Structure 1
C-alpha cells in the first residue's frame, strides 16, 4: 500500500469522568475490565488501521461495537481519548483548531443515517449550505450545487423542500451536499439503514456509480455484511470497541480470524464473493478443458457453466493455466465446505 490518506494508531475513546487518568504516553494503559469498573465506557480501544487513497473502506459491526464512535474520531467530530489520527501524514489531534476546521470544511464530507437536512431550506439551499459556510459567493455555490444535484439525479427538484421528497431522494440530497465541497475523504455513517430494502439497494448502486466516476476515498459504516460486500475494497470488523480483523470480503470468508468473524460471515453469499482462484484445484495435465475462467472472476458469473459441464474448466492468470474448477468446487462453495486454494 502507498502512503495512506488516513491512518490511526492506538486510537481509543473512553466515555466518562476523567478518562485521561488511564492514559500513559498517549496510549490507554488499562484493561477494559478496569475501565468499566471505574465507571467509564471503552467505546473504542487500541484501533490501528490504514486507508489508501481512492479505497472504499468499510467499518462494520453490531450495534454497540464502536464503529460509529470510531468514524466520528476519524472525521474530527469527536476527539479520541488517546492515540493518533493521521490525515495525509499529519496528526489531526495536534493541529490548531482553525486548521482542523479548514480540513473538515474543505477536504471531508459526511453523510448521516438520519439525512440531517435543514427543513427550512430547499434542495438547492441544502446542497449549497456547506459552500455558504466556506464563504463562497452566491453565484458560485448555486452553480456548484446545481452540478451536484444533477449528478445524483435530482435535477428539476431544486426548489423542493425535504418534506416533499421520499426517503431515497432525501438521502440523495445528503449525498449531493457532502460532495459539494469536493472532499478528499467521504464518510458515510450507516447512510441507508433507515431506507426500505429496494431503495437501499438503489442507493448502494448510486454510491458505486459515483465512486466509479469520482474516485473518492470512502469510509463507510454499516452493520450489514451483504452491503459491505457490495461496496467495499476492504472491510474492518469491530467487536467491543476493537477491530478484530481487516481484509477483503473473500479473505474474511475464507480465513476468519475469530469465531465472531466466522459467525458474521457464515451466511455471506459465497458465490458472489469468492473467485475462481480461491476454489480452484491444482492444475493437472488435462488437454480437454471445457473452457477458460479468469482467476479473478466471481463464482456466480461462471457457476452455471461449470455445473452443466462434465469437464473441468481451466483457471487462467495472464494467459497461464494455474488451476482447474469442476463441479465438485461448485458444490463445495454452495454448501460452505472449505477447500484449499492452489494459489
Structure 2
C-alpha cells in the first residue's frame, strides 16, 4: 500500500524503482524469469536463493527526505545500494531523472556517483592521514579539480557543517559527531543532486545523534537536497522524513508520511512497528480536526501541519475548540480539547485496534 502527500506528488520525480529484486545465489536471474518475477519464498529457498529485496516499488521526489526503515535484515541497506548500483540488482528498473541506471555502463555509474550522488554511511571512512580540509577535498581531487578551487569549495563545506577552525585537525583529534560532520561535508563537496545516507547517526550517542539530526534539518532547509535515508529508528524518521517506506523480509510493506503510517497502518506489522510512537509528535491538526461548528467563536487558531505536541497545552487549557486554518487563513475545521485528550491518552489508538 502506498500513499503520498499532495505536496510530494507535485514535485518532479528524482529517483524511482519498479519491480526491483536483489536475489543472492546461483542463477538467480534465470530463476526469477522462470517464475515470471513472482517466485514464492518456498520456491526461492528450494533453489538455494535468498531474496534481500523483493519486487520493490518506490518513487522519490526532488527535494524530499525519503526514509527507508525496517528491522535488521529487512533489506533496507541492500535496497539503497541497489538504487545507487553499488550492489547490482537482479531484476527490475531503477531510474534517476528518468534515466535507466541499469542500462548505464560502470564508467557512466562512476561518473554519476562522482558528480551527482553523495553518500554517507555509518562508518565515517575518513582517511586518517589527511586533515579535515583534505578529507573534504578528497572527492574533488578524484574529479581532477585544481587544488586552489577544491580547497576553496572544501572550506565552504567545512564552514557549512560548523567545523570552522578545525580544518587542520586529523580525524583522531575529533569527536564522533565531528567526524560525522566531516563525512557529511565531504559528500556535499561535489554538489550532489541525490544524497544517500545509510544509518549515518546510529553509531553516535543519543545527545550527539540528536544534534546531527538538527544539523541535517538545517542543511536541508538551506540546500534542499533529494535524500534517501536509512534508519531503524521511527523517532528519527518522525523528525526527518517527508515520507517513509517500511520494509519487512525484503518487501516494502507501506509507504506514507509518518502520520499516515501511525494513524492508518496498512498491516498488523506496520501497526506493531509504530505502536510505541508518541502520537502527539506525529498527528497534525489537519489529521485531528473535525468540521467547524457554525456560529461559535474559536479560542485560537492552528495551522494544518501543527503537531498535537505543540498545541495540546493551549487547547486543553482553553477548554474550547481551536480553528484550523489553511495558508490563506480559511477555516478548514476545528480541533477540540476532547480530541487532543484522546491522542494524549491513546484512546484513538485503542479504538483503531479494536
TM-score by length of 2: 0.92
Match of 1:209 in 2: 218
Match of 1:335 in 2: 345
Match of 2:263 in 1: 254
Aligned to 2:280, the other structure's residue is in SS state: helix
5+ residue gaps, structure 1: none
Q: Distance in 1 between matches of 2:319 and 2:38?
A: 61
Distance apart, 1:296 and its partner CA: 2.3
5+ residue gaps, structure 2: 1-8
Which aligned pairs between 1:80-91 and structure 2 lie closer than 5 A? 80-91=89-100
Distance apart, 1:25 and its partner CA: 9.0
Match of 1:59 in 2: 68
Question: 173-182 or 290-299, which moves further after superposition?
Answer: 290-299
**CA displacement, residues 175-204 of structure 1 (integer Å, 9 cap, x when unaligned):** 000000000000100000000000000000
Match of 2:18 in 1: 9
Which aligned pairs between 1:84-163 and structure 2 lie closer than 5 A? 84-163=93-172
Aligned to 1:28, the other structure's residue is in SS state: coil
Q: Distance in 2 between matches of 1:219 and 1:26?
A: 31
Distance apart, 1:161 and its partner CA: 1.1
Distance apart, 1:26 and its partner CA: 11
**CA displacement, residues 88-124 of structure 1 (integer Å, 9 cap, x when unaligned):** 1111110122211111110000001011111121111
Pick one of 191, 203, 208 that aligns with 1:199.
208
Which aligned pairs between 1:60-75 and structure 2 lie closer than 5 A? 60-75=69-84
Aligned to 1:235, the other structure's residue is in SS state: strand
Distance apart, 1:332 and its partner CA: 1.1
Is the CA contact 1:27–1:82 (under 8 Å) kept in the aligned structure 2?
no
Match of 2:335 in 1: 325
Pick one of 311, 314, 317 that aligns with 1:305.
314
Question: 33-42 or 54-63, which moves further after superposition?
Answer: 33-42
Is the CA contact 1:291–1:313 (under 8 Å) kept in the aligned structure 2?
yes
Match of 1:171 in 2: 180
Distance apart, 1:291 and its partner CA: 1.9
Distance apart, 1:264 and its partner CA: 1.2
Aligned to 1:250, the other structure's residue is in SS state: helix
Q: Distance in 1 between matches of 2:276 and 2:51?
A: 30
Aligned length: 340
CA gap 1:273/1:75 in 2 versus in 1, 3 angstroms:
same
Aligned to 2:200, the other structure's residue is in SS state: coil
1:181 paired to 2:190: yes
Q: Distance in 2 between matches of 1:18 and 1:185?
A: 32
Match of 1:236 in 2: 245
RMSD: 1.7
